Structure 1
Amino acid sequence: MLARIEQLRTLEQRPGAASAASRPVFDKRGQLLPRERVALLLDPGAAYLPLCSLAGYMQDTKDPAASVPGGGMVAGIGFVSGVRCMVVASDSGIDAGAIQAMGLDKILRVQEIALANKLPFLHLVESAGANLLKYRVEGFVQGGALFRNLARLSAAGIPVITVQHGSGTAGGAYMPGLSDVVVMVRKRSRAFLAGPPLLMAATGEVATEEELGGAEMHTSVSGLGEYLAEDDREALGMARDIVARTANTVRAEPVQAHANPSTLRQAQDRPGSARTDCGPRYPADDLLSLMPASLREPVDMREVIARIVDGSDLLEFKPLYGAATVCVQAGIGGHAVGFITNNGPIDVAGANKATHFIQWMCQLGHPIVYLQNTTGYMVGKESEQGGMIKHGSKMIQAVTNATVPQITIQCGASFGAGNYGMCGRGYAPRFLFSWPNARTAVMGGEQAARTMQIVAEAGLARKGIKPDPAQSQAQFDRIVALFESQADAFYTSGLLLDDGVIDPRDTRDVLSFCLDTIAQAAARELRPMQFGVARM
């Protein structure tokens, strides 16, 4: 596990290092690097949860050593002037901030999180727009959802604030256009539907960038910008001031300190907080060794829960019934939560127990945390005759229609329909994170290969052909390799099938931060409108 965590940290550092290589260019222009902008915008010392940091990993190249994850942007939840916000920054140190394929999916995902959790959306923009050398029509069409989501956020009463650090061309110009408030930087900000080259190609007209879309023009003539800053630092200070003055609708004090700084930056206790936060009685370091290297080895997930929850205090629901499915009530950082996890396949009794427990948590109004560690629903003659499909479907219905927030952590195996019944990505949990050892697939690689081998041999037998053992083994090995490569947590995270890979020792901190975010969203009063704020 430690080796996997070290690999994770190495991958997370790659985009920052690649972006920092552009420092001489930024220094020459008098600009800050993207991560420096984010650091100055956020409250010093306050908690910060990075999101989708492996986006795009192994998607741009099949060489693990050459793949730079991140999707060309920085994104996470943090505090700005005491307000919990979603912060997104174009990584303009890499390919001038051009939008990457998985970068689009990443921003759509964090917009979805912002909308679900009523988080003000702050975007630090400097992007060359779409990379025309890698143009794909589906990216252009699906990219419209980015702007649709901005309109939805604003109409919901959630502030959308943009700092235009550099260029925004064509569709990128609608980023400030669909924001409630825009800060621009003198001689650096640009926003136009057609830049000088496209303008000349389309109409023959000759104009400078400043005339078409400079900061001074937009703040004094077109009205696209509200505030004009002299440099990046002043622009970020203005953004902090703007957020501070949204206090009547979205102000929320930073909550509860989080101890482990590797995922969450240190935060100060909220003054006067009455919440109790009694840590687990067992050390978080135990989580490094509780999960076996082989998914075939059993593990008691109660041991995991005991190292995550307040006081290691568990109330297990129906412990003797459907014992391979574990349902527990506990607390995290003072929040009452229900846990559902797996000590084996989900059988008929386990599915019924989970369905009952989900409905019980909905009646209590307690969020549900799923700790995935399952090879799926039980198969076999006895299981099928016992109504596994019917009872598993009831569990999936309960997960789908639960009225409380749901959070998923993929701790081990996430195979077959077990991924669905345990609130996988397709079931829209509020947040979903993976441990480095997690594996996601329709089934294990060896099971898939053996299934195909049986089918192929049966087909040959019907034709009276004897299978070639060498060919059969070669096909077996190819299928195993295919499944294993795609089941890896880093690969699935690169496809944004989770919101990030986390160190198991940070699980309590991450869950506490997410539960704080959800609780503040529930308490936050918004003033929705029929339309978003229109630019005047």
Structure 2
Amino acid sequence: MTVLRSKIDTSSAEFAANVEAMNAKLAELELEFRKVRAGGGEKYVERHRKRGKMTARERIELLVDEDSPFLELCPLAAYGSQFTVGASVVVGIGVVEGTECLIVANDPTVKGGTSNPWTLRKILRCNDIARQNRLPVISLVESGGADLPTQKEVFVPGGRMFRDLTQLSAAGIPTIALVFGNSTAGGAYVPGMSDHVVMIEDRSKVFLGGPPLVKMATGEESDDEELGGAKMHARVSGLGDYLAADEQDAVRIGRRIVARLNWRKQGPEPIAEPVREPRYSPEELLGIIPPDLKIPFDPREVIARVVDDSDFDEFKPEYGTSLCTGWARIHGYPVGILANAQGVLFSAESQKATQFIQLANRSNTPLLFLHNTTGYMVGKEYEQGGIIKHGSMMINAVSNSTVPHISILMGASYGAGHYGMCGRAYDPRFLFAWPSAKSAVMGAAQLAGVISIVSRAATEARGGTVDEEADAGMRAMIEAQIEAESVPMFLSGMLYDDGVIDPRDTRTVLGQALSAIASAPVEGTSNFGVFRM
């Protein structure tokens, strides 16, 4: 047994300062989460409840198994935009009748649950998660369709949302729609393209065009029930498979549908022996990362507080030491871990990672990437030593690896190191960030400095004189901009991750993610691109 031994002094002033800095970031994050949980605000939530309706989160809580966790995804979508944070939809993975499902719930307290560009991006991301991990999809529908002022950004790409539903069905992944209210215009195709549809008497309204539109288009007089009421669809059109008496009954029927799916996981089971918790407290994860990301930290301290029994078999511990690689289990699931130790990736680290990724694919073992990298090393010595081809080798391996990948941004994730460590563009099954994370093409000060050098050279080439005060102002402005655009909430708002998580929840989140991944087969490959030697 290779149990990691922690070397952190949890009573030190440095540790206490790290905890204080992390708690400050968590408090800032909690303020945003409160806005997300508030939906459209007290006024609109109260109006919604007066209509005898549950909120989106209450519907989810009733749907999932009692006392089971709900892994919310992309809660900060649209942060920093003109739209409400959360993008008027709640999505995540929850257990229903013992089956892990991808749940999508429109929030009707936010502009009637209409879909803006960020709503669409969030739903499309979740459809990808459902497809990759073979998760049944349950849509809790109450939406007025597209947010019309933004139709130019929603209409054309929005068709993929309906295509995804049909492709999920074609792949044998069940799709279920519980219609709680309006599902109009394009939104009518969510129940229209779902395998199972539940409608609520006197509540559900599903039509391509409401009475005013029909009147304008055809001159026909009609009411909501005749056009798209639940009873009509249950008895006349056949679109409704089940007619529920109220919202609670609709949820009950939805749970029974899942219970009758006879759904079976196709991936590996966790080990049979009892799972042992890490030997160190997850509370200590708050004090590992310094607020200044230029100060290195040992990722083994994180691993020791995340993996089962703090047991970690390190691979090539004496070679390429700024990248820590090795094997462990999390909640009984085997994982291969790649964790940045000192920030910079050299040629040795790149080659070590490539071999490790190949080994993980041979053993059908999912990979966990723990990010704290400033990128691949630059400079004459390293260029001549082949850093480009070696870094490309690592990126090649990550790109073509077929075992599931999970990424967690703990600290810095800059430059091509972000790519080599399986950033968003490399399709990890899940990607989460800690509040301490930062991601950009490079650090803010470095980027501002590079632009300054280029600007100075251009001015001097023209025979001009550099205005030092203007140059300093430009550097400060650029540095502030990059700093603001590198923080987790901004990146999460752009859907560049699946959520910013409390470090103390890392083991739980990883366990849920690995369990969801195991719904689909886990199969590696020996087919990689040409490795330049």
SS at match of 1:473: helix
Contact 2:410-2:434 at 8 Å conserved across structures: yes
Please tell me whether residue 4 in structure 1 is matched to residue 20 in structure 2.
Answer: no
List gaps (5 residues or longer) in structure 2: 1-21, 524-533
Contact 2:338-2:353 at 8 Å conserved across structures: yes
Task: Give the residue type in structure 2 aligned to 1:74.
Answer: V
Corresponding residue of 2:184: 169
Corresponding residue of 2:4: none
Among 70, 73, 86, which residue is 1:48 paired with? 70
Per the TM alignment, residue 47 of structure 1 is displaced from its structure 2 partner at its CA by 2.2
Corresponding residue of 2:328: 330
Contact 1:162-1:183 at 8 Å conserved across structures: yes
1:206-285 superposed matches below 5 A? 206-247=221-262, 250-251=263-264, 274-285=272-283
Contact 1:84-1:252 at 8 Å conserved across structures: no
Question: Do the aligned partners of residues 479 and 198 (structure 1) sit closer, same or farther apart at CA in structure 2, a change above 3 Å counting?
Answer: same
Please tell me whether residue 190 in structure 1 is matched to residue 205 in structure 2.
Answer: yes
Please tell me whether residue 400 in structure 1 is matched to residue 399 in structure 2.
Answer: yes
Deviations 1:453-497 (A, max 9, x none): 111111111111111111111111111111111101000001110
Please tell me whether residue 75 in structure 1 is matched to residue 91 in structure 2.
Answer: yes
Contact 1:348-1:392 at 8 Å conserved across structures: yes
1:252 & 1:427 partners in 2: Cα distance?
25
1:51 & 1:170 partners in 2: Cα distance?
26
2:220 & 2:519 partners in 1: Cα distance?
52
Task: Give the residue type in structure 2 aligned to 1:426.
Answer: A
Deviations 1:402-441 (A, max 9, x none): 1211100000101000110000000000111000110010
Contact 2:265-2:520 at 8 Å conserved across structures: no
2:339 & 2:39 partners in 1: Cα distance?
39
Per the TM alignment, residue 158 of structure 1 is displaced from its structure 2 partner at its CA by 0.9
SS at match of 1:126: strand
1:28 & 1:303 partners in 2: Cα distance?
51
Per the TM alignment, residue 256 of structure 1 is displaced from its structure 2 partner at its CA by 11
Among 307, 319, 322, which residue is 1:321 paired with? 319
Question: Do the aligned partners of residues 330 and 381 (structure 1) sit closer, same or farther apart at CA in structure 2, a change above 3 Å counting?
Answer: same
Corresponding residue of 2:293: 295
1:251 & 1:480 partners in 2: Cα distance?
51
Contact 1:183-1:225 at 8 Å conserved across structures: yes
1:371 & 1:24 partners in 2: Cα distance?
42
SS at match of 2:375: coil
Among 57, 60, 68, which residue is 1:38 paired with? 60
1:523 & 1:476 partners in 2: Cα distance?
48
Per the TM alignment, residue 252 of structure 1 is displaced from its structure 2 partner at its CA by 6.2
1:335-414 superposed matches below 5 A? 335-343=333-341, 344-414=343-413
1:497 & 1:513 partners in 2: Cα distance?
20
SS at match of 1:125: strand
Per the TM alignment, residue 15 of structure 1 is displaced from its structure 2 partner at its CA by 2.6
2:488 & 2:102 partners in 1: Cα distance?
24
1:153 & 1:322 partners in 2: Cα distance?
42
Task: Give the residue type in structure 1 aligned to 2:436.
Answer: N
Task: Give the residue type in structure 1 aligned to 2:237.
Answer: S
1:59 & 1:14 partners in 2: Cα distance?
14
Question: Do the aligned partners of residues 275 and 512 (structure 1) sit closer, same or farther apart at CA in structure 2, a change above 3 Å counting?
Answer: farther
2:180 & 2:424 partners in 1: Cα distance?
34
Contact 2:65-2:96 at 8 Å conserved across structures: yes
* TM-score normalised by the chain length of structure 1: 0.90
Per the TM alignment, residue 206 of structure 1 is displaced from its structure 2 partner at its CA by 2.3
Per the TM alignment, residue 523 of structure 1 is displaced from its structure 2 partner at its CA by 8.4
SS at match of 1:365: coil
Identical aligned residues as a percent: 48
2:39 & 2:250 partners in 1: Cα distance?
25
Please tell me whether residue 135 in structure 1 is matched to residue 150 in structure 2.
Answer: yes
Deviations 1:147-204 (A, max 9, x none): 0110011011111000011111111010010000100011111111111222223233
Query: Which moves more between the two structures, 24-33 or 153-162?
Result: 24-33
Please tell me whether residue 86 in structure 1 is matched to residue 102 in structure 2.
Answer: yes
Corresponding residue of 1:521: 520
Contact 2:414-2:439 at 8 Å conserved across structures: yes
Question: Aligned-pair RMSD on alpha carbons?
Answer: 1.8
SS at match of 2:272: coil
Contact 2:63-2:96 at 8 Å conserved across structures: yes
Per the TM alignment, residue 251 of structure 1 is displaced from its structure 2 partner at its CA by 4.6
* TM-score normalised by the chain length of structure 2: 0.91
Contact 2:452-2:475 at 8 Å conserved across structures: yes
2:175 & 2:274 partners in 1: Cα distance?
34
1:12 & 1:256 partners in 2: Cα distance?
33
Corresponding residue of 1:500: 499
Task: Give the residue type in structure 1 aligned to 2:121.
Answer: D
SS at match of 1:408: strand
Per the TM alignment, residue 20 of structure 1 is displaced from its structure 2 partner at its CA by 6.0
Contact 2:406-2:430 at 8 Å conserved across structures: yes
1:187 & 1:336 partners in 2: Cα distance?
50
Question: Do the aligned partners of residues 19 and 233 (structure 1) sit closer, same or farther apart at CA in structure 2, a change above 3 Å counting?
Answer: farther
Task: Give the residue type in structure 2 aligned to 1:90.
Answer: N
Task: Give the residue type in structure 1 aligned to 2:197.
Answer: V
